[in-house]
Structure 1
Amino acid sequence: MTAAQIQNALVLCTIVGFATMEFVSRRYKQTVHATGNDTKLELLMFLSVLAVTQPLAIFVTAKLGALWVPQYKGVLADMPWWAMVGVLLVFDDMTQYWWHRLSHTSFLWPLHRAHHSAEYMSIRVTFRNNFFYYLMMPGLWFAGALLYLGFGGMVYAGYIVVKLFVILGAHSAWRWDEPLYRIRALHPVMWVLERTISTPATHWAHHAISNADGVGHYKGNFGNLLFLWDIIFGSAHITRRYPAQVGLIDDKLFGQERWYHQMWYPLLQSKREHTALKFGGSVYEGSEGQAPQA
């Protein structure tokens, strides 16, 4: 099997594994109450990332590389694996941290609010976003450039699988970290783990509908693979608890935005009262408003 085939097989196993745990633990049935509107957005965004955005970034960077710097094709292929991983963590994961953080400012919030409009947590939420959120994500294009420079093979495949495993786990309805917090002997291990990678407790806090309970932290906990970026850049909030509700307060008050407005803004714009998905619109900030500032 090629590295790409192994990567695809492991990605499929990871998705199936977390989906199975959501159902076996009954967390999916108990907590995920999705509408048809949610399903269309999540399914179409997953397919668009898989079939359009990611392949496009790889194709375009390869073509531009061949056109502008053909002499550099594969030039970094002999780097040691640990150096490749370090470069990927900076140019893919750290840049995604900052892109995510910037997406919680008023200017970019409309491209990211779809991710927060789900009133549940599940692996199905993982790629729920605006189409242009991913198309403009710097890390995706950096990854394409690194592939052109020689970062393919098992190192990149392993990195993608590990990152997906962590991100799916952080969004999963099955809170894998919850029982581990109850084991006293694991407290030192969990202390290190929750400061290194994104976990359900830290990432669910980021999706909270409110910060009022001291658990929610939608103005922080931006990390994707590494939560360490939040520790380093001062946006971390760790409680080992989970918010009572996730979602957006304006959707609770004024109704859910249509999937096509969430996916295709600014090409399609909402007519809803108090919406960020139209030119001149603004984020609703009530007493428990989900302010977008980082």
Structure 2
Amino acid sequence: MNPLQNILLLGILLTFALLEWRSGRYKDFGATRDDTKLEAAMLLALLALLQPGIFFITGKLGAWLMPEQRNAWAHLPAWAMFGILLVADDLTQYWWHRLSHTPLLWPLHRAHHTAHYMSIRITYRNNFFYYAMMPGIWMSGILIYLGFANVYLVYVVLKLTVIMGAHSAVRWDEPFYKHRWLHPVAWVLERTISTPATHWAHHALTNEDGIGHYKGNFGNLLFVWDLIFGSAKITRQYPARVGLQDDLIYGKERWFTEMFYPVIQSKREHSALAPGGRANAVEETDPARVLAKG
């Protein structure tokens, strides 16, 4: 893996962190030590272990199974490589994300929604195995073996900028909604890429306010996938609160349980991270249903 990727990633992180610090919104996070441990551990695990490990494995498998194909697609124009990456990485991640909101895979994605604040710090807040099995990372590793390395660097930097911007506490899209003369630009932006308004809705504590959209807005880089597959909701508003209702009722899980489930399982009452636990993401957004289950 190109070390330049991590240097650029850290640069993007620091830029957004500075913007959040200057905005003062970080004071409202109320993050716990477990929040910080989970977010830091997953960021390090993804950058230092999972992504380079997957790229190493796909490179070795490529050299073993199809040695003649190394850099075989390097002759493709950059625009074609970029388009292939959008399908192989971003579209597959849309479906991986969407499937992770079903009972089967929800425990591997739940950690991303347990944050009760929006910030760049939660961008990679997830279960270890959520990323270990993510199809897009494996597909990207194969494409790098086929000769996409340089274009992938540009692609991933663009994607990470959009994703971090969508999670950021700084609502950079808000001015586009406030000023009428910018509405045409907003119309294009919110239908092309993930923005704070559309992605915050996905993290909303409830859908009852007409803003939250827990069952949709799954896109990462492109929001176009949500439009195509019928999971989009655009309100140009931001939910008042984010997180999970059952955490408010039963208390939050420990950071190592969220990160390493199912290797480590929960001892909390009514947990989706326990043997036989309820793993229904939809029910977790409705306090009446959660209480009924209790």
- Normalised by the shorter chain, which TM-score bucket? over 0.9
Distance in structure 2 (CA, Å) of the matches to 1:48 and 1:286: 27
Amino acid at match of 2:34: N
Amino acid at match of 1:28: Y
Decide whether the 8 Å contact of 2:127 with 2:259 is kept in 1.
Answer: yes
Distance in structure 2 (CA, Å) of the matches to 1:86 and 1:113: 30
Q: 2:8 aligns with which of 10, 13, 16?
A: 10
Decide whether the 8 Å contact of 1:198 with 1:225 is kept in 2.
Answer: yes
**Using a 3 Å threshold, how does the CA distance of structure 1 residues 122 and 87 change in structure 2: closer, same or farther?**
same
Matched, 1:32 2:26: no
Deviation at 1:5, TM superposition (A): 5.3
Matched, 1:208 2:210: no
Matched, 1:72 2:69: yes
1:199 aligned partner:
195
Matched, 1:125 2:126: no
For 1:54-65, what aligned pairs fall within 5 Å after superposition? 54-65=51-62
2:103 aligned partner:
106
For 1:41-190, what aligned pairs fall within 5 Å after superposition? 41-153=38-150, 155-190=151-186
Decide whether the 8 Å contact of 1:45 with 1:127 is kept in 2.
Answer: yes
Decide whether the 8 Å contact of 2:206 with 2:285 is kept in 1.
Answer: no
Decide whether the 8 Å contact of 2:6 with 2:47 is kept in 1.
Answer: no
Amino acid at match of 2:43: F
Moved more, 223-232 or 178-187: 178-187
Identity %: 63
Decide whether the 8 Å contact of 1:270 with 1:277 is kept in 2.
Answer: yes
Amino acid at match of 2:93: Q
CA deviations 1:180-236 (Å, max 9, x no partner) are 211111101110100000000000000001100000001000000000000000000
For 1:279-294, what aligned pairs fall within 5 Å after superposition? 279-283=275-279, 285=283, 288-289=286-287
**Using a 3 Å threshold, how does the CA distance of structure 1 residues 8 and 263 change in structure 2: closer, same or farther?**
closer
Q: 2:236 aligns with which of 237, 240, 261?
A: 240
Distance in structure 1 (CA, Å) of the matches to 2:284 and 2:273: 17
Secondary structure at 1:268's aligned position in 2?
coil
**Using a 3 Å threshold, how does the CA distance of structure 1 residues 290 and 95 change in structure 2: closer, same or farther?**
farther
Deviation at 1:6, TM superposition (A): 4.6
Deviation at 1:4, TM superposition (A): 3.6
Deviation at 1:287, TM superposition (A): 7.8
Gapped runs of 5+ residues in structure 2? 290-294
Deviation at 1:97, TM superposition (A): 0.2
**Using a 3 Å threshold, how does the CA distance of structure 1 residues 56 and 289 change in structure 2: closer, same or farther?**
farther
Distance in structure 1 (CA, Å) of the matches to 2:250 and 2:62: 47
Distance in structure 1 (CA, Å) of the matches to 2:258 and 2:217: 23
More helix by share: 2
Distance in structure 2 (CA, Å) of the matches to 1:156 and 1:9: 15
Decide whether the 8 Å contact of 1:274 with 1:283 is kept in 2.
Answer: no
2:292 aligned partner:
none
2:264 aligned partner:
268
Secondary structure at 1:222's aligned position in 2?
coil
Amino acid at match of 1:121: M
**Using a 3 Å threshold, how does the CA distance of structure 1 residues 28 and 66 change in structure 2: closer, same or farther?**
same
Gapped runs of 5+ residues in structure 1? none
Distance in structure 1 (CA, Å) of the matches to 2:5 and 2:264: 35
TM-score (norm 2): 0.94
TM-score (norm 1): 0.94
**Using a 3 Å threshold, how does the CA distance of structure 1 residues 189 and 140 change in structure 2: closer, same or farther?**
same
